[in-house]
Amino acid sequence: MPLPASPVLDSDDLTGLLHQRGQRATPQRLVILRELRRRERHATADEIGQAVREALPGTSIPTVYATLELLVELGLARRVGAGSGATLYDARTAPHQHMVCRRCGRVDDLDGEVETGALREAAGADGFHVEGVEVVMSGLCADCARRGEKERALRR
């Protein structure tokens, strides 16, 4: 189950959460969460790594990956399988979905909730423990659709 709805959870809460599990609250972990939250947008591990290094030089990429994965497990972040390119991580709590352009790879947000109750139930009946549901729309973003039209026109 995702975690209790708490719109914003500060770093101290992360510390507590980790301690409960017998894990350590390292500066890297705190800063990574902070950086992920600072952006009101999804980010790649690499982007987060660069940002974190400004506050905490030397922070390594393996650490960033491990921590992001840990945050997902703790319910503090979502993974977004954009399909093309790198995995995205997102700390936004408000329900929202993603649109991925298959031409330029851009990923945009779309606010709104999707009714997944029936789906979750069906999965549960199969013994699957649902932790999250990702809805990704693929297609062409406005820019690429426009460009596509042009190209088709030229070809004639």
Residues that bind a second copy (CB under 8 A): 72-73, 79, 81-83, 87, 97, 99, 101-102, 108, 110, 112, 114-116, 118-120, 122-123, 126-142, 145
CB 133 within 8 A of CB 118: no
Q: What CA–CA distance (Å, rounded) separates 59 from 54?
A: 9
CB 113 within 8 A of CB 95: yes
126 makes contact, choosing from a second copy, DNA, none, with CB < 5 to 8 Å by partner type, with a second copy
Quick note: the x/- pattern for DNA over 74-93, rule CB under 7 A, is ----------xxxx------
* Number of other residues whose CB lies within 10 A of the CB of residue 80: 19
Binding footprint of DNA, residue count (CB under 7 A): 29
Q: Is 110 helix (H, G, I), strand (E, B) or coil?
A: strand
93 makes contact, choosing from DNA, a second copy, none, with CB < 5 to 8 Å by partner type, with none
* Radius of gyration from C-alpha coordinates of the chain: 18
Q: What CA–CA distance (Å, rounded) separates 22 from 18?
A: 6
Residue 13 contacts DNA per CB under 7 A: no
18 makes contact, choosing from DNA, a second copy, none, with CB < 5 to 8 Å by partner type, with DNA
Q: Report, in Å, the least distance between residue 70 CB and a second copy.
A: 12
- State which of positions 52-71 bind DNA (CB under 7 A): 56, 58-63, 65-67, 69
Q: What CA–CA distance (Å, rounded) separates 19 from 12?
A: 11
